[in-house]
Homo-oligomer: A and B are copies of this chain.
């Protein structure tokens, strides 16, 4: 092979509050050949996820932080352009967590081959990727929804929330979303089939939740945290389950997150609030992916992707779209 110049985005310093341009460094390295067993992939899509903000912090979390000087972690999809590994052939499409770079070289042990004749690459990165797995296991394993129950979902127009709601509908639940703005709310109800959606930007969350969940909430799937979590807690039914998936409203705080003052609703309602990490379910991804794919083919669930075209240099600005609520569906950066 000829030498390849690989542009990659590394973490230059840890952010305080919103990530800034100087948190990143653009580096170019030369990839000059594959060892036996290695494979070279060209990145086509980068998944842009709220969890990335946490990976930039120094503190211990459910996964080790990205180190200073290291390529920013990201789930990605791409095409094999050269292989010295019998598992892969040039032209194969693969997904894996090789990060924000144009090319990746490795043994591919943790990369998955995907069939782009069955579904486009973005479906494997999004709906059938970690986003879909997060929705599937969070709702079904942690929340254990029963037909007829009321499920409230924050970040309802987002990648995970939109999947959670559709899966809850498959399970026979009444589904109410919370999203920002009339367009997102319309989409969630009219296109995804939620029963109702509350626009938090109208500032009447209490009244609107009460209106759409008059008997209270059996399951609250929270992607947002802050005041939305706090208000939702005030509407729990007996034996409710609050699933802590994320807290995008809090990730860029420079002070401690806002704690949910209404947590004693857990006592009064004999309810539980529980966190989960999708990586724990890796051994069951195949099973879940098969079921999700079937629901997709039956038209029961659909993914909406928000694909931004650009280069690895556009990653920082694309990431910020998440925190400004500018994405509409699963956000990805497509490398030109």
Residues of A near any B CB (own CB < 8 A): 61-62, 225, 230, 244-247, 250, 256-277, 280
Contacts and interface: CB of A to CB of B under 8 A. Distances in A.
A250 B276 contact: no
Contacts of A245: 267
B277 A274 contact: no
Task: Specify which of A246, A271, A272 lies most central, judged by the most chain B CB atoms within 10 Å of its CB.
Answer: A272
Nearest to A230: B259
Contacts of A62: 267-270
B246 A267 contact: yes
Given A258-B259, A259-B259, A269 B264 contact: no
A263 B270 contact: no
B262 A259 contact: yes
A277 B272 contact: no
A325 B230 CA distance: 29
Given A259-B230, A259-B263, A261-B258, A276 B270 contact: yes
Task: Specify which of A225, A261, A267 lies most central, judged by the most chain B CB atoms within 10 Å of its CB.
Answer: A267
Task: Specify which of A62, A246, A259 lies most central, judged by the most chain B CB atoms within 10 Å of its CB.
Answer: A259
Oligomer: number of copies: 2
Given A259-B261, A264-B250, A267-B245, A273 B272 contact: yes
A267 B274 CA distance: 7
Contacts of A264: 225, 244, 247, 250, 257, 275
Nearest to A274: B272
Contact of A259 (B260, B268, B274, B280): B260
A268 B275 contact: yes
A139 to B, nearest CB: 15
A220 B274 CA distance: 14
A50 to B, nearest CB: 12
Contacts of A265: 275
B258 A260 contact: no
29 contacts: A61-B268, A62-B268, A62-B269, A62-B270, A225-B264, A230-B259, A246-B267, A247-B264, A247-B267, A250-B264, A256-B261, A259-B260, A259-B261, A259-B262, A259-B263, A263-B273, A264-B275, A265-B275, A266-B273, A266-B274, A266-B275, A267-B276, A267-B277, A268-B275, A268-B277, A269-B275, A270-B276, A271-B274, A271-B275
Nearest to A242: B273
Contacts of A271: 274-275
A82 to B, nearest CB: 39
Nearest to A267: B275
A256 B259 CA distance: 11
Contacts of A259: 230, 258-263
